[in-house]
Structure 1
Amino acid sequence: MSKTITRLFDNYADATNAVRELEGLGISHNDLSIVANNADKTHGEHVDGDHDNVNDHGDVGRGTSTGALLGGAGGLLAGLGLLAIPGLGPIVAAGWLAATAAGAGIGAAGGAATGSIVGALKNAGHTDEEAHVYSEGVRRGGSLVSAKVPDDLVSEAETVLQRNKSVDATTRGQAYRNSGWSSFDENAPAYTSEQVQRERSLYGNETSRI
């Protein structure tokens, strides 16, 4: 048996370090996924894709590659690809969660990918509240790591995620609601680079207590 564990990170470096540590525990890259906001093009040099093909609405244009989303031989991070999921805008992603959220759009003509990140998270076993907070967190500049973890590694995996400064979803959801947010809206405009940078600055020192 296994359990799906997902955590949000404000810092992309923390998220990728958590992925490497989870792989170090013996969790296959086939059971891992990362979805990271890339509105500010910070991660462009690491992915197979051209950010010039993503417009202001977060749509992926012709020539963008999403074929590596299921991970590469060198581990999950070797398979990072550029795509857009409604409401998130441009992201870099790899793994089963990204593939599920993108749905049948992966590999479609023009490289466009469409799907539901909230639906993918709920299908993975997360509550409606968790799914909406995690999705909104990515929209606002965060990085999401999700892992299908064997029961005997759950405790160690949770320790890895906490050690790498994952976000407390309950606290973050309350902060969003205090500013007028109610739920993730895939029809809302993607955050701009400037909005993402402002959002990240709000939570720079916050860590998880999960």
Structure 2
Amino acid sequence: MSSVIGVFDSQEQAEKVLQELKGSGYSEEGMSLVAKEDENAAGNRQQGEETGEGMGYDENRTEMISEDQKLTSGTTTGGAIGGVAGLLAGAGTLAIPGVGPIIAAGPIAAGLSGAAAGGLTGALVDYGIPKEVSKDYKEQIRGGNMLAIYEGVRNEEEVTEIATIMQRNGAIDVENY
């Protein structure tokens, strides 16, 4: 089995990919998303925690924010998660050394919950991505891009279909590992 990874420069593109994959019959369990959290979102999330207001997707600011999460268990303990992160299970905010606050959703979120040791690069290496390529993806995230990952691809036909869906929806780069 392998993983197909697409790099996107907008949340809208990544959301469309995930929706199209689901619509094409691909399991949500194989979908992951990693994106840098906007620093304004982190501040708003903290302010919301202080005021008790729920968090969600702010369409005017085009960023993802979330309420209280426990990534180690992959379950939401707070209110609703909106936007693209809401499409996947286990979404939440996590501070990654060398990157800062990120949003992670799907199976990769559990791997990132122990990121203090290996960081984002280590979690991506665990996905079978070479270390040098993982470092590049880390820089992509740091620069504000998003990774959409589909893991558990069984054959070349699925690789081609998933890559085509990602490219059709604006992927900057698509790779298979």
The alignment's TM-score, normalised by the length of structure 1, stands at: 0.59
Q: 2:90 aligned with 1:85, yes or no?
A: no
Matched, 1:158 2:163: yes
Distance 1:18 1:69, change over 3 A: farther
1:133 paired residue number: 136
Give aligned pairs, total: 146
| Distance change (3 Å), C-alpha of 1:26 and 1:169 | closer
1:142 to 131, 140, 145: 145
Of structures 1 and 2, the one with the larger relative CO (CA 8 A, separation 6+) is 2
Q: Find the residue that maps to 1:92 and give its secondary structure.
A: strand
Determine helix, strand or coil for the equivalent of 2:172.
coil
Task: Establish whether residue 20 from structure 1 lines up as the match of residue 19 from structure 2.
Answer: yes
Looking at structure 2, the residues matched to 69 and 139 of structure 1 have their Cα atoms a distance apart, in angstroms, of: 25
Unmatched tracts of structure 1, length 5 or more:
50-63, 106-112, 171-210
* Structure 1 position 150, deviation (Å): 2.6
For normalisation by structure 2, the TM-score amounts to 0.69
Q: Deviations over 1:29-79 (max 9, x none)?
A: 211100111124469623432xxxxxxxxxxxxxx423498478xx96253
Residue 169 of structure 1, CA deviation: 7.4
- Checking the alignment, whether the CA contact within 8 Å between 2:88 and 2:106 is kept in structure 1 is no
The aligned amino acid for 1:165 is: G
Give SS of 2:113's match.
helix
Determine helix, strand or coil for the equivalent of 1:100.
helix
- Structure number with the higher strand fraction is 2
Over residues 152-188 of structure 1, what are the superposed CA-to-partner deviations in whole Å (9 max), with x where a residue is unaligned? Answer: 4211100011111112379xxxxxxxxxxxxxxxxxx
Residues 1:150 and 1:70: Cα distance change in structure 2 (over 3 Å): farther
SS in 1 for 2:70: coil
Per-residue Cα deviation, 1:181-204 (whole angstroms, up to 9, x for no partner) = xxxxxxxxxxxxxxxxxxxxxxxx
Q: Note if contact 1:85-1:102 (Cα within 8 Å) is conserved in structure 2.
A: no
Deviation, 1:11, is: 1.0
Deviates more, 1:22-31 or 1:10-19: 22-31
* Matched residue type, 1:150: R
Deviation (angstroms), 1:99:
1.6
